[in-house]
């Protein structure tokens, strides 16, 4: 009998098609109307329908929650005697947008808070979502989408991506209406999603071209203030709808986005490197355990015993040194890393090391 643990990582590298530093987008895609913020929501719930990958007996609060829920349905089941391998306790989070009203839908994220091995195939039971003041504003439920899978048993297992966090697209149903009617205002402000002085200047130029000079003023890197014409102050929603489709030129920031949970690396088109040398090696350790039976001699009054025999094998690939010249472009970076034999998981570590050394001329965003 052999016991082999196997982990398979599903990794993805997303590369841009072009290396332009600017892009043309609509105003509504790069900025939002300032004044009505989004609200974070949180709740505690249960995921059911798991295939014996849920919380174990030592995690007591899922059993208590399930027992309280069953009691409301007229089922008396003491939590201390329940076996809950198909149930997992999760924290559910979402974001309530500024203009979402009753009946609107939210994407929700369910994260395991116990010792569940996987939420694959699970369904989130109806879970109240609260504001920070405790007010319930939405209900979340539905099947989870993990973006990965796991399979196996106690002897061998395979896992792809992170299995204890899942999303429920449109799984949150808003229960209350927000008071978001726009009052009559003389000035409104647009907040850029990615603050940048160059982009803010381009936004102001596009609005001034539509409304006339000096209508829009750049307050800072993330705010553009617009003077509302007198005729539009009583119909502010129509005025904002007039501005939102305007085409604006957005300056792109050199950025590397890393999601270590899913193994995704997204490299912006303007990512460049200073002079650097990269060495990368891979050390792999293989451990195989074979259980052998030790049989005593006849009439020796000994006992039969199972003796594990382990074989440890260590392999290290040859290291390569890749030299990167100053001003190296994205395409050259990717080509060099491919020559190095780096996987997306390796690229995550290499990018972080290059940023720490000061050679990577880009911002790193870790999700």
Q: Helical H runs in 186-246?
A: 197-211, 236-243
Q: Over 90: is that where the pLDDT of 15 sits? A: no
CA dist., res. 140 & res. 96, Å (int): 12
Q: In the block, which residue shows the tokens 């076996």?
A: 83
Q: Which two tokens stand for residue 321?
A: 């040194």
CA dist., res. 206 & res. 208, Å (int): 6
Average pLDDT over the chain, rounded to an integer: 76
Q: Over 50: is that where the pLDDT of 64 sits? A: yes
**Confidence grade of residue 31 (pLDDT, cut at 50, 70, 90):** confident
Write down the pLDDT at residue 117. Answer: 85
Strand-pair category, 255-259 with 363-366 = parallel
Q: Helical H runs in 174-252?
A: 197-211, 236-243
Q: Over 70: is that where the pLDDT of 8 sits? A: no
CA dist., res. 312 & res. 309, Å (int): 10
120 Cα distance to chain centroid: 17
CA dist., res. 307 & res. 6, Å (int): 23
CA dist., res. 122 & res. 47, Å (int): 6
139 Cα distance to chain centroid: 21
Identify the bridge partners of residue 184 per DSSP, sorted by sequence position.
none
Q: Which helix (H) or strand (E) holds 30?
A: helix 27-30
Question: How big is the CA angle at 91 (ends 85 and 97), to the nearest 5 degrees?
Answer: 145
Identify the bridge partners of residue 257 per DSSP, sorted by sequence position.
266, 365
CA atoms within 13 A on the CB side of 320: 11
Please determine, looking at this structure, whether the domain spanning 23-34+183-251 carries the CATH number 3.30.1370. Answer: no
Domain coordinates of the chain in residue numbers? 1-21+253-295+304-367, 23-34+183-251, 37-174
Which of 160 and 41 is assigned the larger pLDDT? 41
Percent of the chain with pLDDT over 70: 67
Q: Angle between the 344-357 and 330-339 helix axes, to the nearest 10 degrees?
A: 120
Q: Which two tokens stand for residue 65?
A: 């929650």
Q: Over 70: is that where the pLDDT of 362 sits? A: yes
**Confidence grade of residue 249 (pLDDT, cut at 50, 70, 90):** confident
Question: How many residues are there in the chain?
Answer: 367
Least confident of 75-79, 138-142, 327-331: 327-331
**Confidence grade of residue 12 (pLDDT, cut at 50, 70, 90):** very low
pLDDT digits (tens, 9 = 90+) for 49-63: 888 888 876 677 777
The stretch 255-264 carries a mean pLDDT of 74
């Amino acid at each position: 009998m052999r016991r082999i643990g196997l982990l398979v990582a599903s990794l993805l590298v997303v590369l841009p098609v072009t290396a332009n530093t600017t892009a043309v987008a609509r105003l509504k895609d790069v900025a939002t109307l300032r004044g009505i913020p989004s609200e974070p929501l949180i709740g505690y719930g249960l995921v059911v329908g798991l295939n014996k990958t849920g919380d174990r007996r030592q995690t007591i609060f899922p059993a208590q929650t399930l027992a309280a829920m069953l009691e409301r349905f007229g089922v008396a089941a003491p939590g201390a005697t329940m076996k809950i391998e198909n149930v997992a306790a999760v924290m559910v989070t979402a974001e309530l947008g500024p203009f979402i009203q009753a009946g609107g839908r939210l994407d929700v994220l369910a994260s395991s808070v116990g010792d569940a091995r996987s939420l694959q195939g699970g369904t989130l039971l109806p879970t109240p979502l609260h504001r920070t003041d405790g007010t319930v504003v939405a209900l979340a439920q539905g099947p989870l989408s993990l973006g990965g899978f796991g399979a196996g048993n106690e002897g061998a297992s395979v896992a792809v991506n992170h299995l204890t966090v899942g999303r429920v697209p449109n799984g949150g149903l808003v229960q209350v209406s927000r008071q978001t009617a726009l009052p009559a205002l003389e000035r409104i402000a647009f907040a850029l999603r990615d603050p940048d002085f160059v982009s803010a200047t381009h936004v102001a130029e596009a609005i001034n071209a539509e409304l006339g000079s000096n209508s829009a003023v750049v307050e800072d890197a993330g705010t553009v203030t617009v003077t509302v014409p007198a005729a539009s102050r009583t119909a502010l929603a129509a005025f904002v709808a007039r501005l939102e489709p305007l085409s604006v030129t957005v300056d792109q920031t050199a950025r590397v986005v890393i999601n270590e949970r899913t193994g995704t690396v997204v490299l912006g088109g303007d990512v460049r490197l200073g002079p650097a040398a990269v060495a990368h090696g891979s050390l792999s350790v293989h451990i195989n355990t074979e259980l052998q039976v030790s049989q005593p001699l006849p009439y020796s009054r000994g006992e039969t015993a199972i003796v594990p025999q382990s074989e440890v094998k260590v392999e290290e690939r040859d290291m390569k040194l890749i030299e990167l010249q100053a001003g190296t472009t994205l395409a050259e970076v990717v080509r060099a890393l491919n020559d190095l034999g780096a996987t997306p998981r390796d690229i995550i570590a290499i990018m972080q090391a290059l940023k720490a050394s000061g050679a990577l001329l880009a911002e790193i965003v870790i999700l």
